[in-house]
Amino acid sequence: MTHAILHPERSCDREAVEALLQAALNESLPWPASVLPQLLALRVAGQLSIVRVATVSGSLAGYIAFTPVSADTAQEQWHLLQALVVAPAVRQLGIGSALMRCACSALAHQGASGCLVLGGSPWFTAQGFQPLSGKNVLPEAREHLLLARSLGQPDAVPPERLQLPWACSPRTLITAAMH
């Protein structure tokens, strides 16, 4: 991996993060124009549980954000990937993997049971995510493949029902060119 510095997002990173997210939206990915405003609304509302950025040679190279999802029981803390973006110039160098490890470690440190991803990319399987076969824990995501990764006990699985945050829908999640 290229030498990247990973850290929580700071206020001085916000302009560069927004530019990186906008650039990802401008790529040939089929995202609606509402994705960026909804992600920023989650940020402003304090609905992002973990946000990390990667810098290489002082420039923003990547961004990852998770948001908590409500569970049937208060004991379960699951988090949904909202965004994972790596700048085109540094893709395929391990920055996406490093961001995922960093964010999952921070979530585990906070006591999270696990994290979820919408999408079936083999990249996520390589990061420890597994399909949730036969479970409809996120009704809003029924047409998407839902993957889960336990962060505590190896056999932890999401509760039967999870609820997305208020400003989020599966069609507005950003997961772009992360490896």
Q: Residue holding tokens 């597994």? A: 130
pLDDT of residue 60: 93
Distance CA 64, CA 83 (A): 5
Ordered by start, the domain boundaries in the chain are: 5-176
pLDDT tens digits for range 108-147: 999 888 888 877 778 888 998 888 765 545 555 554 577 8
Distance CA 4, CA 20 (A): 16
pLDDT confidence band for 173 (50 / 70 / 90): very low
Show Cβ contacts of residue 106 under 8 Å, excluding neighbours closer than 6 positions. 50, 52
Nearest of 142, 1, 155, 139 to residue 70 by alpha carbon = 139
Rg (CA), the chain: 15
**Per-state percent for the chain, helix, strand, coil, to nearest 5:** 30, 30, 40
pLDDT tens digits for range 22-33: 888 777 555 566
Distance set, CA 121 to CA 27, 63, 146 (Å): 18, 18, 11
Query: What CATH number does the domain located at 5-176 have?
Result: 3.40.630.30
Distance CA 142, CA 36 (A): 23
